[in-house]
Amino acid sequence: MPAEHFSNQGKRMQIRVFSEPDRDAVIALWRRCGLTVGWNDPEKDIARKLQVQPELFLVGICDQLLVGSAMGGYDGHRGWLYYLAVDPDFRGRGCGRQLVDAVAGRLEAIGCPKINILVRRSNEPVLDFYLKQGFLEDEVACLGRRLIDD
């Protein structure tokens, strides 16, 4: 699938599939955005994603800088969005919306009927962002069980 281009307040942001030279910049972005937590090793998360649907791991580039990322997944029933990150210096310019739309478009193109995300309730700014993107809160409880201790 070709790279998507978006106008970003006079600058162009290119959205393309992650490539190995992006690894350090993506991890630095995730850390800057507060997405890394003790139980999710970013190196392992990237390695795992590259084994399953790597075409749904996107990055946003502006002025040759990696300024955003988004990871999508589809299990045949629902799509998922993970690791949406936009560099704080580039927020408020539509980069996050563009990354969400890019992942959603790719998921829809492969027949995915719905996309889900997980957001911590305490992260009110992010909840507000997703609500503005057309996401609705589902009346479900999210449960999890670790299969591999990282």
CA distance 86 to 30: 9
Tell which wins on pLDDT, 33 or 9: 33
Q: pLDDT class for 9, splitting at 50, 70, 90?
A: low
pTM: 0.86
3 pLDDT above the threshold of 60: no
Domain segments of the chain as ranges: 4-132
Please, what is the Cα angle at 122 between 121 and 126, to 5 degrees?
Answer: 80
| pLDDT tens readout for residues 100-135 | 999 999 999 999 999 999 887 888 888 888 899 899
Summarised one tens digit per residue, pLDDT across range 21-76 is: 999 999 999 999 988 877 779 999 999 999 999 999 999 999 899 999 999 999 99
Angle between helices 23-32 and 42-51 (to 10 degrees): 130
User: What is the per-residue pLDDT for 8?
Assistant: 45
- Angle, alpha carbons 103-106-110 (nearest 5°): 140
> With 90 as the cut, is the pLDDT of residue 6 above it?
no
Residue 10's pLDDT is 53
Backbone dihedral angles phi then psi of residue 3, each to the nearest 5 degrees: -65, 145
- pLDDT digit string (tens) for 27-38? 999 999 988 877
In CATH terms, 4-132 corresponds, of 3.40.50.720, 3.40.630.30, 3.30.420.40, 3.40.605.10, to: 3.40.630.30
